[in-house]
Amino acid sequence: MDPVTATTVDGLNLFGMLAAVLWHLLRIGAALQVLPMVGGRGMPVQARLILALALSAAMSTVLPEPPPAAVNAATVLNVVREFAVGIALGLVLRLAFEAGQFAGELISQGMGLSFATMADPLSGASSNVLSQWFFLVFGLLFFTLDGHLALVNLLVDSYRALPIGTPLADLGDFLAALPAFFGTCLRVGLLLALPVMMALLASNLAFGVLSRAAASLNPIQIGLPVALLVGLVLLSLLARELQGPVQRLFEDAFLAARALTP
């Protein structure tokens, strides 16, 4: 083979590899963009791009070759489908983190910390400190339980179950998977916050009765610091029991994500 032909063949192989990486980047990049801990404004854009490119390049070597792309309506639909599947996979895992933030919102009402807000690195908006605490705890447990490895396995299985260019078998089931898991996240968030909420409610009722019995006791000056102290003690006890419920929630999240690409 002469040098000109060899250079041409190498160039075509390079362009074919780049096309495969870019096709896989659509789904993987969309999933990482909405995924907690590695998505949102908490991570620089350059770091997210490097991570998405690295995962796409690694997966393109073990996954089937994508179909040849042409400038037509079918290619546009394939691009939109890849974005939709990636965003749906990331949203399922993000909903699991929203369960913790929902629990933090409920607990902060009883502790009197609903006014203590800080910038949310995931959405850029403001949220209370307890929601951020639950978000960080969920994030630490996610990596401790090897959730990042399960995420890579999920993305690989999604390409095997739904290869690039394959139409969705049942669009109704695909659209119904997220609302079904949303109810599970609300229930888990409420159950996580319920013990602390009931204890804080009993504490507030006790100080309400004391303020009625002794008018000199100011429920705001005494009851609020005590409710804050009781809430912090209960949160320290709750942190020791979070691993089991959060692990089951993540397992349900990955099961719901796999249901998107049956």
pLDDT in tens, 229-258: 888 888 888 888 888 899 999 999 898 888
- Cα atoms in the Cβ-side hemisphere of radius 13 Å centred on 167: 6
Helix (H, G, I), strand (E, B) or coil at 244: helix
- Structure pTM? 0.81
Q: How far apart are CA 189 and CA 187, in angstroms?
A: 5
Q: How confident is the model at residue 126 (pLDDT cuts 50, 70, 90)?
A: low
Q: Which range is least confidently modeled, 42-56, 167-181, 228-242?
A: 167-181
Amino acid identity, position 95 = L
Cβ atoms 29, 69 nearer than 8 A = no
Query: How high is the pLDDT of residue 12?
Result: 41
For 56-109, write each residue's pLDDT tens digit: 888 888 877 776 666 667 777 888 888 888 888 888 888 898 888 888 888 888
Cβ atoms 181, 256 nearer than 8 A = yes
Tokens (6 digits) for 94:
């993000």
What mean pLDDT is reported for the chain? 78
Residues of the chain with pLDDT > 70, as a percent, come to 77
CA-closest candidate to residue 134, choices 39, 230, 235: 235
For 11-23, write each residue's pLDDT tens digit: 445 555 777 788 8
**pLDDT for 121 beyond 70:** no
Q: How confident is the model at residue 10 (pLDDT cuts 50, 70, 90)?
A: very low
Beta bridge partners of 119: 126
Cβ atoms 96, 253 nearer than 8 A = yes
What's the chain's length in residues?
262
Q: How far apart are CA 185 and CA 96, in angstroms?
A: 6
